[in-house]
Copies of this chain bind each other. A is one copy, B any other.
Amino acid sequence: MKLTQIYQCLCDQTRLRILNLLHGRELCVCHIQEILGEPQVKISKHLAYLRAHGLVATRREANWVVYRLPERPSRDLSANLACLQDCVREIPVFGRDSARLTRLKAKFEVSSPICCTTKARIPQSSHRKVE
Q: Are B91 and A3 in contact (CB under 8 A)?
A: yes
Q: Are A76 and B80 in contact (CB under 8 A)?
A: no
A83 near B: Cβ within 8 Å? yes
* Minimum C-beta distance from A31 to chain B (A): 23
Q: Are B11 and A7 in contact (CB under 8 A)?
A: yes
A72 near B: Cβ within 8 Å? no
A10 touches which of B7, B13, B16, B91 (Cβ 8 Å): B7
Interface SS of chain A: helix, strand, loop or mixed?
helix
Q: Which of A1-21 contact B (CB under 8 A)?
A: 2-5, 7-8, 10-13, 16
How far does the alpha carbon of A13 sit from the alpha carbon of B8 in the complex, in Å?
Answer: 11
Measured CB to CB, the residues of A under 8 A from B are 2-5, 7-8, 10-13, 16, 75-76, 79-80, 82-83, 86-88, 90-91
